[in-house]
Amino acid sequence: TSNAMWGGRFAAGPDAIMEAINASISYDRRLAPQDIAGSRAHAAMLAETGIVERSDVEAIREGLLTVLSEIEAGEFAFSAALEDIHMNVEARLKALIGDAAGRLHTARSRNDQVATDFRLWTRDQCDAAIAGLDALIAALLDQAEQGADWVMPGFTHLQTAQPVTWGHHMMAYVEMFARDRGRLVDARRRMNESPLGAAALAGTGFPIDREMTARALGFDRPMANSLDAVSDRDFALEFLAAASICAMHLSRLAEELVIWSSAQFRFVSLSDRFSTGSSIMPQKKNPDAAELIRAKIGRIVGANVALLTVMKGLPLAYSKDMQEDKEQVFDAADTLMLALAAMTGMIGDMSANRAALAKAAGSGFSTATDLADWLVREAGLPFRDAHHATGALVARAEAKGCDLPDLSLEEMQAVNAAITQDVFSVLGVENSVRSRTSHGGTAPEQVRRQIARWREMQKGR
C-alpha cells in the first residue's frame, strides 16, 4: 500500500530496507511534546489569520492534547511505517478527529516543523545544562569556602610547583564552569528564533503570522530567511560545542579526583555513594564515577564531530541527511546532564584531607621560588642569580634527603653568604600562599574575594 501522506504520486509502498533506513520514530518520538506545542501554535495562528475555520482549529488543538496525553501515558502505538514523530502524530490526530486533521499542515512543511521542534528541544537542554552547572558551581563554592586557606601543592607537569590553597584550586574550576555556562546562555540566545512558517524552504503564499507563532512558542522573533530556517543546524552544533568544552572541563576535574583519591595522594576521600568496590580485592574503593565522567567526553565530542561532518557538504536547503542530527544531540545532552549530576554529587560529598594536603604542600621543594624571591628582595640579587643559588640549595637538600627548611643556616650561607635567619620565614607554605596577594592569586584573602564575587553572581540564579 502506498503512503497516506503522499500516496497520490505513489503506486507501491516502500521496501522493508527503505523503511528501516528512513524511519526515525524510534528516537524522534522524544520530540513529541515540542511537536505538539508547535502544531498547536501553528493551528491557533491558522484560525487567527482566517486560513482555517475556527471550528476545525479547535478540534485540531483539542485532538493534539489527546495525542499528547496518550503518548505521555505510554498508550500511543508508534508506527515505523509513518516514519517520524510528525506523521505519527498527524495520523493519530486524523483517527481521532477525522478530516479536519488534514488542515493542520496548511502553510507548513515537515522541514520547518522539525527545525522548530528540534530548536525547542535543544533550548530546553540549554536550560537544563545551565541549571546543572549552577548546582555544580554551588558545590565547588562550598568546597572552596571550607578550605579557602588550606594549603596544598600546586602542580605544573604534575610536578610540585608552588603551594596553593584548596580554595584557589576549587575556584579555578568555578571559573571554567561559569564560562561553560556563559557559552550555553549565548547559544540559547542565538537559537531562540522561530523557523516555523518557513514552510518547505521558500515561505508560503498563505497570509500566515510568523510573529504570532514565534511568540506562542517563546521565541524572540521569527527567523529572517526561510532557506536558512530549514537548513540551519548550527544551533545544535553550538550546543554540542559548548557541551564538548564543558565535558572537557568535567573530564579534567574527574582526572584530578582519580589521582587525588589514590593511596599515593590521599588528598580527598570520595563518598561511598559515589564509589565502587572490587569483587576480588577487599581493600578497594574505586572512583568509577570520576572515571566514567572522564570518559563520557568521548561521546559528546563524537556527537559534535559527527554532526559537523553530516552538515559540512549539504547544499541548501533541507536534505534528509539532517535527520541524522537528532540521535547525536540526544545522546550528547543525556550524557552531559548525567555527567554534571554525577560530578555535582561527588564534589558535594567529597571530603578533602587537610592534613595530607598540608603535608604534600611542604614537600617537593615547593617554596623554592619563595627562597629565590627572598634573595632578590632582601639580598638584592638579580633573579637569575637567585634562581641559580636556590637551585644549588635544592640540590643540597635533595642529596641529604631533606626539604629546604631542614637545611641549616650555615649550609645556606655556604651557597650564598647574604642569607640570614630571616629566610626561614618564607620557606613555610602558609607564608608562601599568604604572600601571593596579586589579583587572582592564591592568598586566602584573594580566594575569599573570588568566592564572595561568585556567591553574589550566583544569587537568584
Q: Is 157 a catalytic site residue? A: yes
Give the DSSP letter of residue 276. B
* Residue among 213 and 323 whose Cβ is closer to ligand ARG: 323
Q: Enumerate residues 6+ apart whose C-beta is below 8 A from 81.
A: 13, 19, 23
How many angstroms separate the CA atoms of 329 and 229, rounded?
A: 18
Q: Residues 6 or more apart from 349 whose CB is under 8 A from it?
A: 270, 271, 273, 274
Number of residues that bind ligand ARG (CB under 6 A): 10
Task: Please report whether residue 123 would count as binding ligand ARG according to CB under 6 A.
Answer: no
Q: How many CB atoms lie within 10 A of CB 176?
A: 19
Query: Which residue number, 173 or 318, has a Cβ lying nearer to ligand ARG?
Result: 318
**Beta strand pairing status for 221-222 and 193-194?**
parallel
| Contact predicate 355/166, CB 8 Å | no
The binder of ligand ARG chosen from 104, 114, 311, 352 (CB under 6 A): 114
Cβ proximity to ligand ARG: between 84 and 232 the closer is 84
The residues near 251 (Cβ < 8 Å, ≥ 6 apart) are 293, 294, 295, 296, 297
Per rule CB under 6 A, is residue 194 in the interface with ligand ARG?
no
Least Cα distance to 253 among 143, 115, 92, 111 occurs for 143
Q: Does 318 bind ligand ARG (CB under 6 A)?
A: yes
CA distance 233 to 118: 9
Which of 42, 92, 110, 210 forms a contact with ligand ARG (CB under 6 A)? 110
Nearest partner of 121 among 36, 227, 21, judged by Cα: 36
In the chain, the amino acid numbered 333 is A
Pick the closer one to ligand ARG by CB: 121 or 177: 121
- For this structure, is 86 an active site residue? no
Q: What whole-number distance in Å separates Cα of residue 212 and Cα of residue 216?
A: 6
- Between 102 and 391, CB nearer to ligand ARG: 102
Grid cell listed for 77: 502505538
Query: What's the min distance (Å) between Cβ of 214 and ligand ARG?
Result: 20
164 forms beta bridges with 152
> In this complex, which beta carbon is closest to ligand ARG, that of residue 195 or of residue 362?
195
Q: Of the candidates 88, 111, 160, 165, which one interacts with ligand ARG according to CB under 6 A?
A: 111
Q: Which of 157, 408, 438, 439 is catalytic?
A: 157
Phi, psi for 287 (deg, rounded to 5): -85, 55
Q: Which residues, 323 to 352, sit near ligand ARG by CB under 6 A?
A: 323
Q: Which three cell numbers stand for residue 418?
A: 647574604
Binding region for ligand ARG (CB under 6 A) out of 88-96, 141-149, 243-251, 314-322: 314-322
Q: Contact between 229 and ligand ARG (CB under 6 A)?
A: no
User: Does residue 24 belong to the site contacting ligand ARG (CB under 6 A)?
Assistant: yes
Span of 110-118, 307-315, 361-369, 386-394 interacting with ligand ARG by CB under 6 A: 110-118
The reply to whether 249 sits near ligand ARG by the rule CB under 6 A is no
CB-nearer residue toward ligand ARG: 85 or 300 = 85
The 33-72 site mask, x for binding ligand ARG (CB under 6 A), equals ----------------------------------------
Query: Contact between 84 and ligand ARG (CB under 6 A)?
Result: yes
- 15: exposed, middle or buried (Cβ count in 10 Å: 0-12, 13-18, 19+): exposed
CA atoms lying within 13 Å on the CB side of residue 24: 19
CB of 86 vs ligand ARG, minimal distance in Å: 6
The catalytic residue positions are 157, 278
* Footprint on this chain of ligand ARG (rule: CB under 6 A): 24, 28, 84, 110-111, 114, 318, 320, 322-323
